[in-house]
Amino acid sequence: SQTIHQWPATLVQPVGSPLSLECTVEGTSNPNLYWYRQAAGRGLQLLFYSVGIGQISSEVPQNLSASRPQDRQFILSSKKLLLSDSGFYLCAWSAGTPSEQYFGPGTRLTVT
Amino acid sequence: AQKITQTQPGMFVQEKEAVTLDCTYDTSDQSYGLFWYKQPSSGEMIFLIYQGSYDEQNATEGRYSLNFQKARKSANLVISASQLGDSAMYFCAMREVIQGNLIFGKGTKLSVKP
């Protein structure tokens, strides 16, 4: 069966510090991968998605970036965090464009 | 323009009763998909049910059913026989085939009373 992992589960970082969140998927090959952010009490906002290694599409201009160094690994990064980057970050995968997405447990990021 | 609208910020239901969570959507695509997700307090997003725009029958998954009214562009989630564990945020989402990504509504917080 397929599983999706995210770490860390929680993170507190000062403004201006770098960020690296990791997401890995097991039990499937060539998944579509997604990064979402959920601000407190809000819906999900798609940040990045990837249909293959090295292929990244950005949905929202910001100081975040994403990379996919391996087929089942998706990384969300920032060189300098802003207060507005605080939120709940969710990674998801799908087997293809028309299919449902399955989410990881999420990372709660607080920028102080 | 908002593509997914969930007009109920919060809902209460008595345990063992049925509840309907509303969702309307806006798209010019003929082919699209509609999804419902549950988010408990732990934060994980749990896939519940899917309805394709060309599906003639309403989707059902256990106690969950999707009341799909294409002409009205609505995709309401019906939960039958509510349980205390159903208390959570519920999100409606749409995928337009051309764009290929999920667009989420703002969610409805469901509270089940014992």
Model confidence pLDDT, tens digit, residues B32-84: 899 999 999 988 999 999 999 998 899 999 999 999 999 999 999 999 999 99
Closest listed residue to residue B35, CA positions, set A109, A64, A102, A27:
A102
Q: Which chain A residue shows the shortest CA-CA distance from B36?
A: A100
Strands B32-39 and B88-96 turn out to be: antiparallel
- When pLDDT is cut at 50, 70 and 90, the band that residue A43 belongs to is confident
Q: Which chain B residue shows the shortest CA-CA distance from A48?
A: B101
Q: Which of B47, B101, B107 sits opposite A43 (nearest CB)?
A: B107
Q: Is the pLDDT of residue A97 over 70?
A: no
What CA–CA distances, in Å, run from B27 to A1, B50, B74, B76? 34, 17, 11, 16
- When pLDDT is cut at 50, 70 and 90, the band that residue B30 belongs to is confident
Structure tokens at A91: 């990674």
- Give the torsion sign (CA, A33, A39, B21, B111): positive
Contact A23, A91 (CB under 8 A): yes
Q: Do A98 and B97 touch (CB under 8 A)?
A: yes
Please indicate if any CB of chain A lies within 8 Å of the CB of B48: no
- pLDDT of the residue at A61: 66
- pLDDT of the residue at B100: 66
Q: Which chain B residue shows the shortest CA-CA distance from A103?
A: B45
- When pLDDT is cut at 50, 70 and 90, the band that residue A62 belongs to is confident
Q: What's chain A's average pLDDT?
A: 91
Residues 14-73 of A with CB under 8 A from B: 34, 42-46, 49, 59
Residue count of chain B, please give it: 114
Please indicate if any CB of chain A lies within 8 Å of the CB of B47: yes
* Cα A12 → chain centroid: 17
The stretch A22-39 carries a mean pLDDT of 93
**Residue of B44, B92, B102 to mutate, testing the A interface (most A Cβ within 10 Å of its Cβ):** B102
% residues pLDDT > 70 (chain B): 95
% residues pLDDT > 90 (chain B): 79
CB atoms within 10 A of CB B85: 9
Structure tokens at A80: 């300098």
Contact A49, A96 (CB under 8 A): no
